[in-house]
Amino acid sequence: MATTVQEAIDRVGFGAFQRRLFLVCAVTWAADAAEIFLLSFALPGFSEEFDLSGSQAGLVVTSTFAGMLVGAWFWGMLADRIGRRTGFQLTVAVFAVFGLASAFAPDAAWLAVLRFATGFGLGGALPLDFSVFAEYLPTRNRGRWLVLLESFWAVGTVAAAGLALVIMPTLGWRYLLATSAVAAVLVLWVRRRVPESARYLVSRGRPDEAQAILARVAADNGVDPVGEQILVPADESRAAGSLTALLARGMRRVTLSLWSTWLLIAFAYYGIFVWLPQVLSDEYGFLNTYVYVFFIAVVQLPGYFSAAWLLERWGRLPVLRTYLGISGAATFLWAVADGTTTVLVAAGLMSFFSLGAWAALYAYTPEVYPTRIRTTGMGSASGFARVGGVVAPLVGGALFPVSLVLALSVFAVAFVLAAVVVTSLRLETRGRPLTDTLAEEQRPVLR
């Protein structure tokens, strides 16, 4: 009698192995977030040193997202072909090396080039983390654990704000950028013992290796190993790592909707947060800007936890739609707010619900794709987020100096449009096992 990888993992359960993997991925996630937001906190410093206009500074920030765009698509497809573990290591090595090098940039052009290379590594690290962790999770409470992993984005953001608060007034922006590279080296070291995905091995016709890894998972969790032979799904190797498979019949609606949602939420989120320190200082005269940014970052954590609690009770899609809609409404409120208290409440609500929406989206996306194209699906969706990330700093750099109300209204509309797009998604993944083949995936999608 044979069993699937998902059935084997469900029987082994959640234990010490998944907790260690969670910590490895969580540290990576926090380091990735810090790497992105440290640049926005460093923006006033390097803008002054290199005498940059708002548009020129926006181009430097955009270079990171451009690198993430290329990296997300490249590493996502590569990991579906050569394995999760190799990409898991290489992506962090790339962003550690170039993240450190960017602290020594002699001018704005070199800073942009080095940030592009840093983004190339970051762009692959994010989708790979989620795919690897999701593929080792039991069906029960999978969404909750994926959201808890994504919550470390807020931890990284808070850490970046805290570091900026301490380092920027004393040591300057170069030291600030160098700190995240230290975290990346730590991540690279702790990732050495992460095994290859058992799902990936089975999808490539290597069930014996998958069985050995699942036996290790069972031993780490203190339970008996699964005795049955691991079932190898029907051969669909031509679909592995293929963008064409993402647009195949039965997957097209899901893929296009997800690409649109990722692009819109990233455009709104990064359009606001990249310029947040400067906006708080220039528009409202907040002298200690980093304290206020720190507060707005901290409220992201309960946003994540509320989403984690609701995902397993209400479902992925209702949470995603609702949180995106409220994010848009809060951003509109911020646009017309009068007074410091109202500004902080509106900005805090936007931060709370937008990060909860990110959490739901990150949980949903790897669940909806089969194993053979899971990291391709995550990578391509993340790539469209980077498209939004590329455009957002440029739009913000152009609009914020002209009108705060106009800029925030544009980003609010993007949140609302993302909520509308999510209504076209019909496949709810709450309580649904991860699938291994395209044929298996297409049946419920078309239902």
Can you give the CATH number for the domain in which 224 is found?
A: 1.20.1250.20
Residue 4 neighbours by CB under 8 Å, 6+ apart:
230, 231, 436
Which residue from 193, 342, 186, 358 is spatially nearest to 270, judged by alpha carbons?
358
CA dist., res. 303 & res. 263, Å (int): 21
Cα–Cα distance measured from residue 220 to residue 156, given in angstroms and rounded to the nearest whole number: 29
Q: How many domains does the chain have?
A: 1
Two tokens, residue 428 = 């709810």
Question: What three-state secondary structure class fits 240?
Answer: coil
Domain that holds residue 124: 2-232+240-446
Q: How many helices (H) and strands (E) would you count in the chain?
A: 20, 2
Give the type of residue at 54: G
- Taking the C-alpha atoms of residue 313 and residue 44, their distance in angstroms, rounded to an integer, is 43
Angle at 108 between CA 105 and CA 110, to 5 degrees: 50
For residues 123 and 120, give the distance between their C-alpha atoms in angstroms, rounded to a whole number: 5
DSSP structural state of residue 241: T
Cβ proximity of 391 and 230 under 8 Å: no
Residue 54 exposure: Cα atoms within 13 Å on the Cβ side: 16
pLDDT 10s digit of each residue in the chain, 447 long? 677 777 888 888 888 999 988 988 888 778 777 877 777 778 878 888 888 876 777 788 788 888 888 887 787 777 777 777 777 778 878 888 888 888 888 988 899 999 899 888 887 777 777 778 888 888 877 777 887 887 888 788 788 878 887 887 788 888 888 886 676 677 667 666 777 888 878 877 788 888 888 888 888 888 887 766 776 665 444 445 466 778 777 788 889 999 999 999 999 988 887 777 667 666 665 445 566 777 777 788 888 889 888 988 888 899 999 999 999 999 999 988 887 788 888 989 999 999 889 888 988 888 888 777 777 787 788 778 888 877 887 788 788 878 888 989 999 999 999 999 999 888 888 777 766 544 444 444 332
Q: What is the chain's alpha carbon radius of gyration, rounded to the nearest angstrom?
A: 21
pLDDT for the residue 282: 64
Strand partners, 229: 2
- Sorted by sequence, the CB contacts under 8 Å of residue 32 that are 6+ apart come out as 95, 122, 125, 126, 153, 156
Q: Which residues pair with residue 3 across a beta bridge?
A: 230
The C-alpha angle 328, 258, 129, rounded to 5 degrees, equals 100
CA distance 38 to 49: 16
User: Which residue, 122, 123, 114, 90, is CA-closest to 174?
Assistant: 114
Beta strands in 83-234 (DSSP E): 229-230
- Token look-up 């709370």 returns 352
Q: Is 3 helix (H, G, I), strand (E, B) or coil?
A: strand
CA distance 248 to 340: 50
Q: What was the pLDDT predicted at 442?
A: 42
